Amino acid sequence: MADSDPKPDQNSVEPPDNQIQDEPRKPDAAEGADPVQPSDQRPDVSELTSEISPDNQDAVHEFMAEAAQQNEAANEAVAEGAGGDTPTSAGAPANGDSTPAPYIAFEHIYKSFGDTDVLKDVSFSILPGETLCILGRSGVGKSVSLQMLMGFYKPDKGRIMVAGEDICGYTEKQMQEVRRKVTMVFQNGALFDSITVGENVAFPLRERHDLAEDQIQQVVRGLLEMVGVAGMEDLLPSDLSTGMKRSVAIARALASQPEAVLYDEPTTMVDPLMGHLLGNLIARLKTQLHLTSIVVTHDMRFARRLADRVVFLHQGEARFFGTVDEMDKSDDPVLKEFLELDALVLPV
């Protein structure tokens, strides 16, 4: 069992190539990989930033709009790539001509630890900008799946595609590049313990080398307000509750302007109010930032609200992969039992 979450030094970010430029350029939809547009044509992210205090709001709005714009362009570029034979719904192979290519795909993944076969021929995918919820009982391989995406474990067999590339043979250096695009919010936050909350969030901002100190401070304070832990920048991670650490981890993830975020049970072991806040935040991030997301969750209400698709892992297999509607209509007795038991625990 992977008890301790890896530290986030591998999440380091360097300045993206696609920084804001002063010269306004002609917007061209065909230029998928180049997101630069005049700032007045930036995506609207006001739902995310509307409650941030006036001192920090402009800086965060600009920062988030830049991220949303980069993600829109990246999603478009990935979607236009080759579809391959990745399944986009239960049993239905993608048609490379008409179906957008996925942002993330597991293709026939096998993974064992010693004699324990954790994943056996597991396939699922996530389209750019979509949210996949991974469901399944404890110990079924949900966290291992996320950790394989981050390159902490390698599959024994199969391909894992991220933004059109098979990452399975990647070196640690190449994985660091992948982790600039895909970042993970660990259950315990995996914050740097010895530096303040504010410096944790500032970490990816400082690595860009293009932001002035006052901008960094405004973005840090504004992001902390956005994730519900306003004014906590001078505390140490050890001063925070589990839910607050997770909020700070989300703020730090956002500071690196990722294209995709992986959340491991974000609403587990937090009080209901914090769970609600984190759930709302994840939902708004998805739509406003055009983030591709994977959410491992036990909370079916949360899954129903967020998921474009769900994958249900059971005894090493992707027992179900499809939309929430398809899940509700499924006749699979194992899936039905899982959903019924969940409904008993969490009455809707």
Ligand X SMILES: Nc1ncnc2c1ncn2[C@@H]1O[C@H](COP(=O)(O)OP(=O)(O)O)[C@@H](O)[C@H]1O
DSSP 101: P
**∠ Cα 99 66 49 (to 5°):** 105
Residues 142-161 binding Mg ion (CB under 5 A) are: 142-143
* Among residues 77, 90, 118, 178, the one that binds ligand X under rule CB under 6 A: 118
Per partner kind, with CB cut-offs from 5 to 8 A, the member of ligand X, Mg ion, none near residue 98 is none
* Among residues 57, 123, 143, 200, the one that binds ligand X under rule CB under 6 A: 143
Q: What is the SS3 string spanning 112-126?
A: EECCEEEEEEEEEEE
Q: What are phi and psi of 199, to 5 degrees?
A: -70, -30
Binding mask 183-222 toward ligand X (x if CB under 6 A, else -) reads ----------------------------------------
Is the separation of the CB atoms in 227 and 248 below 8 Å?
A: yes
DSSP 39: G
Per partner kind, with CB cut-offs from 5 to 8 A, the member of Mg ion, ligand X, none near residue 2 is ligand X
Q: Which span sits near ligand X by CB under 6 A: 132-140, 168-176, 184-192, 328-336?
A: 132-140
Shortest distance in whole angstroms from residue 344 CB to Mg ion: 21
Residues 106-145 binding Mg ion (CB under 5 A) are: 142-143
144 belongs to the binding site for ligand X (CB under 6 A): yes
143 versus 288: smaller Cβ distance to Mg ion? 143
251/222 Cα distance (integer angstroms): 9
319 belongs to the binding site for ligand X (CB under 6 A): no
Among left, alpha and beta (phi > 0; psi -120 to 50; other), residue 316 is left
142 versus 179: smaller Cβ distance to Mg ion? 142
Q: What is the SS3 string spanning 233-262?
A: CCCCHHHCCHHHHHHHHHHHHHHCCCCEEE
* Among residues 1, 212, 345, 348, the one that binds ligand X under rule CB under 6 A: 1
Question: By three-state DSSP, how is residue 104 classified?
Answer: strand
Per partner kind, with CB cut-offs from 5 to 8 A, the member of Mg ion, ligand X, none near residue 113 is ligand X
The number of residues that bind ligand X (CB under 6 A) is 13
Tokens representing 296? 């491992």
Question: By three-state DSSP, how is residue 89 classified?
Answer: strand
138 belongs to the binding site for ligand X (CB under 6 A): yes
Residues that bind Mg ion (CB under 5 A): 142-143
